[in-house]
């Protein structure tokens, strides 16, 4: 694996999956999955300044100027959950997701979508609100988003009773979709993780692939 920073995109020939990333953002999900599957990938940590994100190079890959972006040959993607599904389907060989005919498939899809569409969303609203209105943040907006974050956390807390992973005994990519949220949750709501969630998160952090992913994104 090679880690590059701010490389000129136009001078670059892709040899493996590239993940345009910024440390401690959603691209971590993709890095973590690649580590779990032990497939080669490359991280390109971009300059997060709007001038770069909306500039002529990166702006072509990701018109919303967000991270992550995944590039695999001709394929360009800008939704982390879709990237996970793409990588699982193309390189996973059936690992880390139940098959379409398995009874846990619906739960798998449910928790993957919950991870981004429902749980990440209010966390991001707090981040965006503070970033866009640093001088004049609206506390009632932030409080409402914190309430929504807590509601998501309560759902996970209840679901994790007596379980190792969100689908039961087996780790899956749904744990990546959900688990990514725990650090920004604590940082932006200023709340500690509830007991079942805290031990779930510890279990996730103790995975070798998780540790390698942390190293890869911060190199």
Q: Is 129 in the site for ligand GSH (CB under 6 A)?
A: no
User: Is 110 or 199 the residue whose CB approaches ligand GSH more closely?
Assistant: 110
CA distances from 157 to 17, 37, 80, 205 (A): 34, 27, 24, 17
Q: Which stretch binds ligand GSH (CB under 6 A): 7-15, 65-73, 101-109, 157-165?
A: 65-73
Is-contact 75 18, C-beta < 8 A? no
Q: Is 157 in the site for ligand GSH (CB under 6 A)?
A: no
Q: Is 80 in the site for ligand GSH (CB under 6 A)?
A: yes
Q: Which stretch binds ligand GSH (CB under 6 A): 61-69, 152-160, 170-178, 188-196?
A: 61-69
Is-contact 98 167, C-beta < 8 A? yes
User: Is 29 or 146 the residue whose CB approaches ligand GSH more closely?
Assistant: 29
- By the 10 Å C-beta count (0-12 exposed, 13-18 middle, 19+ buried), 124 is classed as middle
In whole angstroms, give the CA distance from residue 175 to residue 182: 11
Alpha carbon of residue 168 to chain centroid? 21
- Residue of 16, 37, 79, 107 interacting with ligand GSH (CB under 6 A): 79
User: Is 118 or 124 the residue whose CB approaches ligand GSH more closely?
Assistant: 124
User: Is 128 or 199 the residue whose CB approaches ligand GSH more closely?
Assistant: 128
Is-contact 118 152, C-beta < 8 A? yes
The interface mask with ligand GSH, positions 9-48, x = CB under 6 A, is ----------------xx----------------------
* Measured CA angle at 193 (ends 38, 119), to 5 deg: 65
Instruction: State the residue for tokens 């005919």.
Output: 101
- Residue of 37, 105, 107, 124 interacting with ligand GSH (CB under 6 A): 124
Rule CB under 6 A: which residues touch ligand GSH? Answer: 25-26, 66-68, 79-81, 116, 124, 128
């Amino acid at each position: 694996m090679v880690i590059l920073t701010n490389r000129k995109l136009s001078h670059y020939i892709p040899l493996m999956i590239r993940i345009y990333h910024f440390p401690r953002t959603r691209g971590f999900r993709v890095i973590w999955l690649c580590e779990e599957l032990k497939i080669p990938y490359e991280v390109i940590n971009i300059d997060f300044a709007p001038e770069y994100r909306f500039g002529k190079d990166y702006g072509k890959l990701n018109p919303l100027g967000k991270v992550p972006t995944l590039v695999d040959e001709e394929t360009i993607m800008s939704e982390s959950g879709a990237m996970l599904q793409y990588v699982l389907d193309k390189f996973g060989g059936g690992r880390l997701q139940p098959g379409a005919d398995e009874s846990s498939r619906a739960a798998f899809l449910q928790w993957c979508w919950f991870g981004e569409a429902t749980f990440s969303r209010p966390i991001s609203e707090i981040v965006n609100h503070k970033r866009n209105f640093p001088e004049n943040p609206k506390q009632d907006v932030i409080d409402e988003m914190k309430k929504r974050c807590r509601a998501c956390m309560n759902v996970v807390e209840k679901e994790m009773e007596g379980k190792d992973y969100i689908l039961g005994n087996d780790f899956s990519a749904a744990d990546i979709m959900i688990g990514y949220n725990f650090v920004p949750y604590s940082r932006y709501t200023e709340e500690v993780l509830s007991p079942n969630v805290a031990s779930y998160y510890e279990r996730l952090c103790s995975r070798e692939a998780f540790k390698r992913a942390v190293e890869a994104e911060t190199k």
